[in-house]
Structures are given as structure tokens and as C-alpha cells.
């Protein structure tokens, strides 16, 4: 642990956003400003504005003095970086600089017409899609890249510890500038396709080309930074778990090797559903990249930047982030301090102060989970199902005022439309599994595609494939070897049906998963279709009773079970209508299991995607039951608490202790949250030998009782966030 670099230790980043009046800093007591960041914000790393992110796109101006770039005129001779950095260091804050690399004024773009991103129809992206209402964006393969690398060098000369690049972004339908056309042709012998055509292998090459261009840009930007400071750190906004990230060329698996942090935005926006585990979803995905992770949280009320988030949302955001192994980042907008200083700062002071005080319990910690949930970036990028029956126009059924609305039932033939649907399936499947596991208090980690073959699976007993459709032959063999050696698998739908680029292949996982063929699909439906659990006599179905029915997922395959697979449940025959008498049980299995080396559960339907949208408790029970049966032994941690209490298990081998993070998400049934409901008498069983004592970071008295193989802990009350530490002899 003594060898950890500063950025490998728990990080609490902050950003003081001065908005459209950067000149205000000239009249500020810089020593007091930095002191407040350290003592009131409790941050240990700060982004200082190096190029503004303000209208009309002033990313081409600097806040620091250099003869290589134009200065933001309102600052005059005042060097924002060089003036402030010494005070930041004095108060223990590592200074980084925010460099806006995606938003430029039209005037700047006109000065450099060969730098702007061009769409397939030869139009400038920023003219068709004005950034933030006004402004354009530049291309990472154009001569702008050299300008950008020089900007990084000049910024680092101010004494920074590193830089954050806000962008660059390869925007949808981009880029077809001369530099991109020439680079692509040099690599593939022709120009890139001008349309989204998933039947054209060159379009898939173009998808990879865009992502590799991002990685190349970041690598060279890092090289430029290290010319000035060999110990500097660099990272960018690398994107998160949502389906369709390929449209903006974001993949942490590609850029991860060239950055010190995997970071991504998880900005709260009003007017749309915000998942209960909003920040946890992002944190575990970023941690899976194998680098220190940072989740970005704006301390503002969605797009109302001068109003702060409710205090509970701010604190829960940080709690979820750290509980899942990531560092925190919070931006405070300067004018909000004028209007509501205490309301803005108080929750940051409280939660970051708690994190600072308990930093030792988060340093050099290792996950205690032995279940892995695969986030398949390959599948998110290239998956389009070949099963035509799945693509009909359906929507969530609604009934109001004696009217009934559903989809048209028409077939969706367009590949782009099919791809958009598959993108959504992938995101909702990840969210569904994540929510079910977390709500059932089953400890798990997220792994990426590379984790299948790089040895990462060795630490896990159970792998949840979900609908990981696009896997290489090597990855499929590694999964088969994992099961043969005693590992366990839970899979769904078309897991392993295609190669890593989404093409048909004879190398699949069918025999491993327990089915021989897919003979079509039920017509997608969001109402009145069911699953018959039959006798429900298998241990996997322990929470169900004989004859019980469950809702059928919208997307369900007709898969022929293998002779050695046990069918646990069947789909019922389709009714095709609401308020219609059920038509009996079909021959098609809804769930199967088999044992050959390890245990395997297969769902021939998008169960986790269905749960992610509809949140039915019985589907959650089914998913959790499948994981528990496949796992085949007690979990390393068993929890008795409401499902809204998030419990994460960590170990610190060098300190001989276990740390359990508890986050209370039990709120007042709306977002933004305004009230949390305290939870009492949480019980936690841990498998551990030699426990000598247990205590709470909040000072709550923890009850500890010895049980076979470990201890049983009782937490009398959980307000918002606590750590329970178990010392081992």
C-alpha cells in the first residue's frame, strides 16, 4: 500500500465552475478559496479551468498565459492556473486542468475548415446540430490533433499534476472530413460507408475505426503531457454503460489503457426516470475497466445549473459511488454559491468529510464478491438478432378511460431500427441484472469482455453472461473451460450465438447452455402472456409454489432443450389478446438447467431486460434464484435488510479486515429524493475466520455473534451511509 501513487488512493475530485464570468476569480482570495476546497468541500484533487466550457464555444481560448494560444480576454494578464496552483498544493489538493476539447465557436471553425467534423452528407456536424445551442466540434484525425497536443503541453507547463479532456467526441454520423477519409482508405483500401449499413462489413470496420481513433488520440495526448511531466495523469469522459455508446465512439475497453482514470458522467436530469442505483450502475462498470474510476456528478438540479441538487441526492450519489469502488467528482457552479451557499456546500461538506475521515477503509481494498456480471461491450456494439419474429412494433400496453393502446404489430425490417432496439435490450439487460443482484444483496462484480480470457474469471465461482451475444471463439472456449472446471453460468436469450463482430458462426454455446436449436420466437407482447412453473419442485424455484404463473418476457425464444437439460418451466401458449382465457401450456421451455462440471441455468428469453423495465418482484426472485442455485454454496455475505439497502463487500488483506458498505436508498417514492427513511436492525452474516471485533464508521454500536465459519453482525440503525469494519486476528 505504501507504493500506491496519489491517484491510486481514494479520490475526491471537485470542479469549481465559474460559468460565463471567469474574471471573478481575480478578485478572490486564492488562499482562502483553496482552503475552503480542502476544509469545506473536502476534496483532494481539483479541476481548474484551462479552456472554458462556456458559450459560444470558447474551448479555443486559455485561462493561462501562453504565446501559443489566445487568452480569455476578461482575465487580462491574470494566469488562472499559475496563480492558483500553489495554493491548491499548499492545502493538499492535486491540481488538474479541465480542457474543453469538443465545443468551439463557429468563428473558430471557419478559421480552420479542415478541422471540423463532417457528416456523411458533407455537412458540418455543428451547423446541423449546434452544440449547446451554438458552436461546432473538431475532428481527432484532422490537423487539430497537433493543436490539441500542443495545448496539453502548454497547460502542463503551468505546474499541473495532469489534465482532464472534456471530449473529444466522435459524434453520430461522423466523421467524413478529408483526414478521416484518407486514414480509413489507407487502412481498408476504400472510403468508409456513407450510411448505417450493418450488412456491410466496412461499416463495422468504421465503427472500430472511430473508437480506435479515440484511443490513438488519447495515447498521443498522454505522450505530449508526459513530455512535460512524466508523472502526470490524463483521462477523458469515457462513456458509461448505456446501450448505443458506439454512436459516439466511447468504450472504456479501448481508451482505458491510455488513461489513469476511467471516468464518466452520471449527471442527474429531471423529467425522466432516474434508476435507484443510478450512480452504482456507472461506478461498477467503470471499475471493471481495471483502472481507478471516477463518477462525475454535477451538484445542480439537472439543467438548472444555478440551483443545487437536494442534499440527499448529493450524498447518496457519493455513497453509491464509493461503495462500488469508485472515486467521487462533484462540480459546483459559482453563481449557486451566491444564491444558496450553505445549501450547496453543506451536503458536500458532510459526505466528503465522512469519506476523508474514513479514507483508510477504502484504500487498497479488494472486492469480496465471487460472482461476476459480464458487461459485453462487443455485444453492445455489434448485436443485431437474426430472428425476424422478434422485430414487430410493440409498445408498453396502457389502458385509460376505457381505451387501450398497443403497437401496430407491423414487422420492423430496417436494420438501423433493429439495431436501436437491440441497443436498448443490452442496456436494460445490464440494468436488470444489476438491480436484481443488488436488491437481493448478492455480492457481485462487473467484468468486461477481456475478463473472460485474461485470467479475471479465476477469482469467481459464477459468471452471469446475460444476453452476451457477440463472443469470440476463444471467449466461448474459455467459458466452456470455466464450466468444465467447476464454474457456474447463468445465461439468457442469444448468449454466444454470434462471433465478436455480430456475424453468424458455427461456434456457439448451445450445448453448454442446454439447448439444441432456436426455432423462432413468440410474437413480442407486453400483456397477458405467461409462464407456467408447473410443479416448481426444483431448488431453483424454492420461492415459488406448484402451478404458479409468471409474466412472460416481451421477447421469448422457442428453444429446443437438450436431452441432458432439465426443463424447469414452460411458456404458455400465446393468447395474442388481453382479457382472453389462457390457452394452456406450450412445449417450449422458459427455463432450463444442467450440471456438467459446474451448474448452468439458461433462460430462452430476455428476462433481465423485462425486469429492468417492468420491475416485477417475481421476475427478480426468479433471477436471484437462478444465481443462487447455480452458485451452489452460501454467498460470502448474507444480508437481512430491505432491498433498498445496498450492501457492498470489500476486503483489505494487508490490514486483515473486512469492510462492508451500507447505502440507504429508502426514500419518499419520488425523485429528486427529499426524505430518507432510516432502516433498523440490519443483519449481516459473513464468512470469515478469526474476527476479533466489529465497529461502525458512524459510531453505531454493532452487535457481533459468532456462527459456524464466521460472524453475524447486527446494525441497529442505518441513516444514509455507513461502513461496518470487521477486524480479523
pLDDT over threshold 70, residue 726: yes
Query: Which of the four pLDDT bands, split at 50, 70 and 90, describes residue 617?
Result: very high
User: For position 403, what pLDDT does the model report?
Assistant: 45
pLDDT computed for residue 728 by the predictor: 96
- For the domain bounded by 371-516+591-631, which CATH number is listed? 3.40.50
* Reported confidence tier of residue 427, pLDDT bands at 50, 70, 90: very high
Indicate the average pLDDT of the chain.
94
DSSP 636: S
Give the model confidence (pLDDT) of 708-718 as tens digits: 999 999 999 99
Distance between CA 489 and CA 486 in Å, rounded?
A: 10
- Rounded CA gap, 491 and 509, in Å? 10
Q: Given a cut of 60, is residue 699 above it in pLDDT? A: yes
Report the pLDDT averaged over residues 590-605. Answer: 97
Mean per-residue pLDDT for 99-112? 97
User: Is the per-residue pLDDT at 513 higher than 80?
Assistant: yes
Checking if the pLDDT of 1 tops 70, the result is no
Three cell numbers at 406? 398497443
pLDDT of residue 336: 64
d(CA 505, CA 354): 52
Give me the count of residues in the chain. 729
Percent of the chain at pLDDT > 90 equals 86
The residue among 397, 423, 576 whose CA lies nearest residue 502 is 423
Does an H or E element contain 525, and which?
Answer: none
- Which of 85-99, 256-270, 327-341, 483-497 is the least confident region? 327-341
In CATH, what number does 637-728 get?
Answer: 2.60.40.1180
* pLDDT, tens digit, 9 for 90 and up, residues 371-389: 999 999 999 999 999 999 9
Residue 541 has a pLDDT of: 96
The SS3 call for residue 688 is coil
Alpha helix ranges (H) inside 160-277: 178-188, 201-228, 252-255
The closest of 395, 422, 430 to 410, measured between CA atoms, is 395
Each residue of 32-71: pLDDT tens digit? 999 999 999 999 999 999 999 999 999 999 999 999 999 9
Name which of 266-275, 421-430, 456-465, 587-596 the model is least confident about: 266-275
Nearest one of 328, 595, 569, 635 to 488, comparing CA atoms: 595
The pLDDT score that the predictor gives to residue 400 is 46
Angular region, 138: left φ>0, alpha ψ -120 to 50, beta rest: beta
| pLDDT at residue 408 in the model | 63
User: What is the mean pLDDT of the segment spanning 131-146?
Assistant: 97
Write down the domain spans for the chain: 371-516+591-631, 637-728
Using alpha carbons only, what angle is made at residue 666 by residues 662 and 670, rounded to the nearest 5 degrees?
140
Helix axes 178-188, 201-228, angle to 10 degrees: 110
Range with the poorest average pLDDT among 86-100, 235-249, 451-465, 478-492:
235-249
Q: What is the mean pLDDT of residues 599-619?
A: 97
Q: What is the pTM of this model?
A: 0.96
Amino acid at each position: 500500500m505504501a507504493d500506491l501513487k496519489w491517484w491510486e488512493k481514494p479520490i475526491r475530485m471537485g470542479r469549481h465552475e465559474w460559468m460565463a464570468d471567469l474574471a471573478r476569480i481575480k478578485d478572490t482570495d486564492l488562499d482562502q478559496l483553496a482552503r475552503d476546497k480542502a476544509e469545506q468541500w473536502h476534496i483532494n484533487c481539483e479541476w481548474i479551468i484551462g479552456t472554458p466550457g462556456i458559450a459560444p464555444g470558447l474551448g479555443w481560448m486559455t485561462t493561462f498565459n501562453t504565446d501559443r494560444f489566445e487568452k480569455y480576454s476578461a482575465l487580462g494578464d491574470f494566469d488562472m492556473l499559475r496563480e492558483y496552483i500553489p495554493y491548491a498544493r499548499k492545502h493538499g489538493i492535486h491540481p488538474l486542468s479541465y480542457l474543453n476539447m469538443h465545443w468551439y465557436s463557429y468563428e473558430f471553425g471557419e478559421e480552420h475548415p479542415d478541422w471540423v467534423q463532417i457528416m456523411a452528407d458533407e455537412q458540418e456536424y455543428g451547423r446541423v446540430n449546434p452544440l449547446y445551442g451554438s458552436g461546432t466540434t473538431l475532428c481527432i484525425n484532422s490537423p487539430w490533433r497537433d493543436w490539441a497536443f500542443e495545448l496539453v503541453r502548454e497547460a502542463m507547463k503551468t505546474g499541473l499534476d495532469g489534465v482532464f479532456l472534456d471530449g473529444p467526441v466522435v459524434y453520430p454520423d461522423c466523421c467524413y472530413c478529408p483526414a478521416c477519409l484518407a486514414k480509413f482508405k489507407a487502412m481498408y483500401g476504400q472510403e468508409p460507408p456513407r450510411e448505417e449499413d450493418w450488412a456491410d462489413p466496412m461499416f463495422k470496420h468504421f465503427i472500430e475505426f472511430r473508437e480506435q481513433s479515440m484511443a490513438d488520440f488519447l495515447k498521443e495526448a498522454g505522450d505530449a503531457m508526459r513530455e512535460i511531466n512524466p508523472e502526470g495523469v490524463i483521462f477523458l469522459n469515457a462513456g458509461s454503460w448505456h446501450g448505443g455508446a458506439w454512436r459516439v465512439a466511447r468504450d472504456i475497453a479501448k481508451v482505458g489503457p491510455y488513461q489513469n482514470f476511467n471516468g464518466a458522467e452520471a449527471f442527474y436530469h429531471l423529467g425522466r426516470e432516474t434508476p435507484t442505483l443510478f450512480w452504482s450502475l456507472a461506478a461498477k462498470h467503470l471499475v471493471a475497466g481495471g483502472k481507478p474510476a471516477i463518477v462525475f456528478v454535477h451538484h445542480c438540479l439537472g439543467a438548472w445549473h444555478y440551483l443545487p441538487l437536494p442534499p440527499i441526492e448529493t450524498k447518496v450519489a457519493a455513497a453509491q459511488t464509493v461503495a462500488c469502488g469508485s472515486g467521487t467528482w462533484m462540480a459546483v457552479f459559482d453563481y449557486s454559491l451566491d444564491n444558496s451557499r450553505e445549501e450547496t456546500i453543506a451536503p458536500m461538506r458532510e459526505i466528503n468529510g465522512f469519506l476523508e475521515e474514513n479514507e483508510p477503509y477504502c484504500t487498497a481494498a479488494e472486492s469480496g464478491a465471487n460472482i461476476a456480471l459480464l458487461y459485453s461491450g462487443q455485444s453492445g456494439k455489434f448485436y443485431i438478432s437474426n430472428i425476424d419474429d422478434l422485430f414487430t412494433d410493440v409498445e408498453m400496453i396502457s389502458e385509460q378511460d376505457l381505451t387501450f393502446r398497443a403497437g401496430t404489430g407491423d414487422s420492423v425490417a430496417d436494420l438501423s431500427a433493429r439495431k436501436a432496439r437491440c441497443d436498448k435490450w443490452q442496456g436494460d439487460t445490464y440494468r436488470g441484472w444489476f438491480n436484481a443482484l443488488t436488491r437481493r444483496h448478492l455480492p457481485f462484480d462487473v467484468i468486461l469482455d477481456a475478463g473472460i480470457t485474461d485470467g479475471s474469471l479465476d477469482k469467481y465461482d459464477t459468471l452471469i453472461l446475460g444476453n452476451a451475444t457477440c463472443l469470440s471463439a476463444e471467449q466461448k472456449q474459455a467459458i466452456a473451460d470455466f464450466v468444465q472446471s467447476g464454474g457456474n453460468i447463468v445465461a439468457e436469450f442469444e448468449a454466444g450465438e454470434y462471433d465478436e463482430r455480430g456475424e453468424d458462426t458455427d461456434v456457439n454455446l448451445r450445448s453448454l447452455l442446454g439447448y439444441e436449436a432456436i426455432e423462432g420466437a413468440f410474437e413480442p407482447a407486453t400483456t397477458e402472456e405467461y409462464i407456467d412453473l408447473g410443479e416448481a419442485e426444483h431448488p431453483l424455484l424454492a420461492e415459488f409454489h406448484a402451478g404458479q404463473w409468471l409474466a412472460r418476457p416481451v421477447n421469448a425464444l422457442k428453444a429446443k432443450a437438450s436431452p441432458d437439460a432439465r426443463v424447469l418451466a414452460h411458456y404458455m401458449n400465446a393468447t395474442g389478446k388481453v382479457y382472453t382465457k389462457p390457452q394452456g401450456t406450450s412445449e417450449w421451455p422458459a427455463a432450463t438447467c444442467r450440471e456438467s462440471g459446474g451448474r448452468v441455468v439458461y433462460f430462452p428469453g430476455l428476462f433481465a431486460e423485462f425486469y429492468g423495465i417492468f420491475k416485477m418482484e417475481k421476475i427478480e426472485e426468479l433471477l436471484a434464484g437462478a444465481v443462487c442455485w447455480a452458485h451452489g454454496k452460501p454467498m460470502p455475505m448474507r444480508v437481512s435488510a430491505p432491498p433498498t439497502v445496498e450492501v457492498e463487500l470489500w476486503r483489505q488483506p494487508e490490514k486483515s479486515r473486512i469492510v462492508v458498505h451500507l447505502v440507504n436508498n429508502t426514500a419518499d417514492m419520488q425523485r429528486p429524493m427529499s426524505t430518507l427513511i432510516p432502516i433498523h436492525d440490519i443483519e449481516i452474516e459473513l464468512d470469515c475466520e478469526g474476527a476479533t471485533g466489529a465497529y461502525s464508521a458512524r459510531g453505531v454500536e454493532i452487535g457481533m455473534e459468532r456462527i459456524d465459519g464466521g460472524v453475524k453482525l447486527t446494525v441497529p440503525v442505518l441513516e444514509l451511509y455507513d461502513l461496518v469494519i470487521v477486524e480479523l486476528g
